[in-house]
Amino acid sequence: MRGRAAQRWGLPGARGACGQNHGVAQRSGTGGLDVDARFLLANERTLLAWVRTALTLLAGGVGVAQFGTAVGARTWLAVLLVGLGVAAAAAGGVRYTAADRAIRAGRLPVTGPAPLVLPAVVALVGLGLLVAVLAGR
């Protein structure tokens, strides 16, 4: 792949406006593989976003368990939120490791289902929480 698509994805061989090579990984003069540190740092920032999401879900679960007196099924919702928090942390770790390996190998990381599944489940939990609060009134 050459041209704009290669440049957009940072693939090896992509050239910027000034002719610089903006690849994820390039062969160095010594025969090793030089990895662009920006991609590794972006991968770490993505991991931290997953960890923040996990901590938020865990805190939400604890909050519902402790203070959700108006919620009828608060124990189940709390367990569900804590379980989602644990799943988000695990998914973030798995994605970080897979992306790190792909970046170091000069490939694009595989997306996987987690970025689609987690928001869908959180939306369902939100709807369940809304129904539980309205039913408790």
Does the predicted model carry a pTM greater than 0.75? Answer: no
pLDDT over 70 percentage in the chain:
73
DSSP annotation string for 26-64 = EE-TTSSEEE-HHHHHHHHHHHHHHHHHHHHHHHHHHHH
Question: Between 130 and 123, where is the model more confident?
Answer: 123
What is the enclosing helix (H) or strand (E) of 25?
strand 25-27
pLDDT, one tens digit per residue, over 60-76 is: 999 989 987 776 678 88
Domain regions of the chain by residue span = 1-35, 37-135
Residue 96 in contact with residue 130, Cβ under 8 Å? no
Q: What's the confidence (pLDDT) of residue 8?
A: 55
